[in-house]
Chains A and B, each alone.
Chain A
């Protein structure tokens, strides 16, 4: 009984959290001033063609369309003799509960358990459209979960796939929220937006909000700035940077990754030595994957391959054009500027990273998006909880755009990869300043 109670409470918290995250909270507040949130049965919505009346659509849930209506619109609704239910008090109550129960050490951000709970609720609430898959298991026995969104999610159809993945790096909490909210958005708007419906019907959208759940938990419970996974290395240090563990140009030099286990950019003992990267590899390579975004933070940049070399990728102009388009779409939302460019030139050289590998596999347009803030002065790996929704909303058009691009553009084929000759990981290049915290320090 207690378990049921806890689950119900979590379900309610989730609904309310979604309401907040997707901007519904603002709508609720506005509705309180101007009118109400009402729900009508989906069939009545269609029959009465309410959509043409310019009503504010909030969400679809449990077969009912939720609308924000003014007092005048409520009168019109009554005149149409459409049965409706006033939802404002219930939603406000649930939202308020979520804000107080939301808490925990990580506030409105998701832990591994909270993430699984919310993914399962999405799956439950959107049967047919959402399917949660366990794509791997971490060293600490946590599940690596993927949310598949498609018009027939339970079946593996030969539709183009797009992958959105977050939290390769444990401390980048915002990178969990953006892909997760994207999944929620797609599911909640499937019945409301023709654009969303078309995309979901034509593709398989795969979302892995937390590629590194072990690291995420360590970041929440022990040390906020933890970056890597939780591999116990042979020398007593911990962690492999899983965004240096992918198989293309892995260990090419010590500039774009490190062979020193204590380093924050330690690449591991072999390509795909980590369960997190094998899970992403098998997910991406096992279908017709046409695009990928790996979310990170911070600095507000959009990066495209190659990262391992400053040489241009074979279809570099296309990647640049897509990145430019995404940057423009993001800026159009509220003016946030995300610069863009080839990873090795625009930020720093990396080898064995996600985007290089996914692009190198079959030429799928692949991007690393470094989410806000723009610099360390404005939070570094911290984002105010209140900014989660805004960061998601400004990235939403770019995610929709890339999904549409993937649906419309078959892959060009495997790009030619030219790796320099020489022993792997043997570059004599002096190691420059690497991102993140320096290696473990001895006790004083």
Chain B
């Protein structure tokens, strides 16, 4: 009874502590470079972590843990290989010229992204562990816009992504401590096109605003883990700030073919996005063979976020924020095909304040997950649902993550 009550009480306590969020949003939430769903992305949590409120600093299930806390690689089986895919959907209100003066929507437009989140391999050998991971943690997609009437149309498209290539190493230290370090190479692109066309019987005027960016950057992350015994593990993590730096190309064009008019402004210039420090702490407690708890808090140093766009600084007044998440897991024994199998049930929550200061907003998220572990193979699926408060627009975000994992025990 006591062991059942404790996880539930822990989760309820966390929810009460989170309380109603004062938060902010509006245009800045969806500046062009804003990742879809939330600004606060760290690593690429697999389904197991997503189902427990995103807690990943003190509890690992596969190589993706190395993106957040490489020290946790020492807690994995001798060999772990995994791959994750996800479906993300988010509603937006103000982005580009939508609901900022040019085009008004009656509701919140939504954007959805489906794709492979990433995959990796982790190997543990005595007091060392290594991992290589490829991940695609950020998408910059936006709802495509097409408005118009007879003789007039206005279209908008934006796509983009950030990919990470990561290598991590961990070393076991005395007294239950472990230390891990990782190196991350980030690369991505952002493409945005607006076309406005007006035609009458005499002419067709076309205005094109076409922008393409590519960027890359290098960041390091590290983690420290302490196994305190009795199933309790504590983790400390950090990621260095880094600059996504690259080239932007743009074309602004006005065409009236009937009049022979073709006015162009071509540009190529350097862009830079200064990504913030991330520092976090996490706890996990394996209470029994069946029950486990995990909780994380991460500080994102957004107040020093800066953007240089076509060699001109853009105003981005952001604030530092702390994102928190916690969850509980219950492993139910479920023998199958004469073999011992387990079905996990996970429940969690997250509190995810957004860094934009013009209007304060945050997402309160509920997460859940399940799966099946049978022998060396495990499949997990988790979902998270976030409800935004603060903007007055009740934005929503949702994510379903599927992770397939193959493990080789000792």
Contacts and interface: CB of A to CB of B under 8 A. Distances in A.
Given A377-B258, A378-B261, A380-B205, A442 B312 contact: no
Interface stretch (B102-110, B159-167, B223-231, B288-296): B102-110
A380 to B, nearest CB: 7
A391 B249 CA distance: 28
A224 B194 CA distance: 10
Interface in A201-258: 218, 221-226, 228, 230, 236-239
Contact of B250 (A105, A377, A385, A441): A105
A113 B315 CA distance: 11
Interface in A97-130: 101, 103-107, 111, 113-114
Contacts of B211: 105
Contacts of B100: 218, 222, 238
Contacts of A377: 203, 256, 258-259, 261
Contacts of A105: 211, 250, 252, 265, 267, 310
Contacts of A218: 100-101
What size tier do the contact residues of chain A reach? 35 or more
Contact of B148 (A222, A385, A440, A444): A444
Interface in B138-185: 145-149, 154
A106 B265 contact: yes
Interface in B28-85: none
A380 B101 CA distance: 21
Contacts of A441: 103-104, 147-149, 154
Nearest to B105: A443
A443 B250 contact: no
Interface string B236-270: 00000000000000101010101101010111110
Nearest to B104: A440
Interface in A366-389: 376-380, 382-385
A224 B195 CA distance: 11
Given A237-B101, A440-B104, A443-B103, A104 B267 contact: yes
Interface in A47-66: none
A154 B257 CA distance: 51
Contact of B97 (A103, A222, A442): A222
Nearest to B200: A376
Interface string B316-337: 0000000000000000000000
Given A222-B97, A238-B101, A377-B203, A444 B312 contact: no
B105 A103 contact: no
A224 B101 CA distance: 12
A236 B99 contact: yes
Contacts of B148: 441, 444
Contacts of B98: 443
A444 B144 CA distance: 11
A100 to B, nearest CB: 9
Nearest to A230: B101
A382 B254 contact: yes
A444 B101 contact: no
B101 A223 contact: yes
A241 to B, nearest CB: 12
Nearest to A109: B265
Contacts of B149: 441
A441 to B, nearest CB: 5
Given A103-B269, A222-B97, A379-B263, A440 B103 contact: yes
Interface in A1-32: none
Contacts of A101: 311
Interface in A309-365: none
Given A378-B261, A379-B254, A383-B263, A236 B104 contact: yes
A323 B356 CA distance: 50
Contacts of B315: 140
Interface in A245-301: none
B146 A444 contact: yes
A103 B268 contact: yes
A107 to B, nearest CB: 4
A113 B308 CA distance: 12
Contact of A440 (B101, B203, B310, B311): B101
Given A103-B311, A379-B261, A380-B254, A442 B205 contact: no
A252 B24 CA distance: 40
Contacts of B103: 440-443
Contacts of A223: 96-97, 101-102, 194
Nearest to B268: A103
A318 B256 CA distance: 39
A240 B35 CA distance: 31
B261 A224 contact: no
A377 B261 CA distance: 7
B104 A443 contact: yes
B311 A237 contact: no
Contacts of A385: 265
Given A103-B267, A225-B207, A443-B98, A376 B256 contact: yes
Contacts of A106: 252, 265
B115 interface: no
Contacts of B314: 221
Contacts of A239: 101
A107 B104 contact: no
Contacts of B267: 103-105, 107
Contacts of B266: 107
B263 A382 contact: yes
Interface in A391-444: 440-444
Contact of B101 (A114, A226, A376): A226
A238 B252 CA distance: 24
Nearest to A114: B312
B264 to A, nearest CB: 8
A443 B109 contact: yes
Contacts of A442: 103-106, 147
Contacts of B154: 441
A239 to B, nearest CB: 6
**B106, B261, B265 — most chain A CB neighbours (10 Å):** B265
Contacts of B259: 377-378
Interface of B: 96-106, 109, 145-149, 154, 194, 196, 203, 205, 207, 209, 211, 250, 252, 254, 256, 258-259, 261, 263, 265-269, 309-315
9 contacts: A103-B269, A106-B265, A113-B313, A238-B100, A376-B205, A380-B205, A440-B102, A442-B105, A443-B105
Interface of A: 101, 103-107, 111, 113-114, 140, 218, 221-226, 228, 230, 236-239, 376-380, 382-385, 440-444
Shortest 8 CB-CB contacts between residues of A and residues of B: A238-B101, A377-B259, A107-B265, A382-B254, A103-B267, A223-B97, A443-B105, A104-B310
Given A105-B211, A376-B205, A378-B256, 12 more contacts: A103-B268, A140-B315, A222-B96, A222-B102, A224-B196, A225-B207, A377-B203, A382-B263, A383-B263, A385-B265, A442-B104, A442-B105
